[in-house]
């Protein structure tokens, strides 16, 4: 299975910004990166009136849009899919999956915490937390890194998630 790390935190904590900065760091290290974003509600993915939208509105359970450069899939689901289900069904050829959200999932997590937006981190409540990225020093049982320490954050993910998963697979 492809190693997975979840970047978690409260709304507007900087999760997406951190992921945007981690992706090029992992690419520079020679990894192929995939991402999975969790959204708590339904979300629009197609535009009204477009052919694929019309196919879905007509009742198709699955619609695939393909071009020479991209493929997109729109599929009905019966439940909120887990990270393992999503990775197994949809991701091929990646060396690491960086997920945004999925704070209740079993996979290793890094919390992004900004003091400005929220009084306390989620950290004590999170299962399998391996680090916190924060703009303030926190006294926790896991490393606390600055949001600007992208190399350090990537080193933790590489050592605790990618290397561990590779060792366990052998």
The CATH fold of domain 4-40+80-169: Rossmann fold (3.40.50)
pTM, full prediction: 0.88
> What pLDDT is attached to residue 43?
61
Q: Output the pLDDT for position 23.
A: 97
pLDDT at 130: 96
Residue 111 CA to residue 75 CA, distance in Å, equals 30
Of 14-18, 83-87, 115-119, which gets the smallest average pLDDT?
A: 115-119
Model pLDDT for residues 29-41, shown as the tens digit of each residue: 999 999 999 876 6
Residue of 35, 40, 36, 43 whose CA lies nearest to 10? 40
Domain borders along the chain are: 4-40+80-169, 41-78
Paired sense of beta strands 62-66 and 71-75, if any: antiparallel
Residues 112-150 pLDDT 10s: 999 887 888 998 789 999 999 999 999 899 999 999 999
Among candidates 101, 102, 103, 75, which has minimal Cα distance to 89? 75
């Amino acid at each position: 299975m492809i190693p997975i790390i979840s970047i978690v935190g409260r709304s507007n904590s900087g999760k997406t910004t951190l992921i945007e900065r981690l992706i090029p760091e992992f690419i520079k290290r020679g990894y192929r990166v995939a991402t999975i974003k969790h959204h708590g509600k339904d979300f629009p993915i197609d535009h009204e009136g477009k052919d694929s939208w019309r196919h879905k509105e007509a009742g198709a359970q699955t619609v695939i849009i393909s071009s020479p450069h991209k493929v997109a899939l729109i599929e009905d689901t019966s439940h909120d899919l887990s990270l393992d289900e999503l990775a197994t069904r949809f991701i091929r050829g990646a060396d690491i999956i960086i997920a945004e959200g999925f704070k209740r999932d079993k996979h290793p997590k890094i919390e992004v915490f900004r003091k400005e937006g929220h009084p306390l981190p989620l950290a004590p409540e999170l299962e399998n937390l391996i680090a916190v990225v924060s703009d303030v020093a926190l006294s926790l049982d896991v490393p606390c890194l600055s949001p600007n320490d992208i190399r350090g954050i990537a080193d933790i993910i590489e050592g605790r998630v990618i290397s561990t998963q590779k060792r366990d697979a052998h």
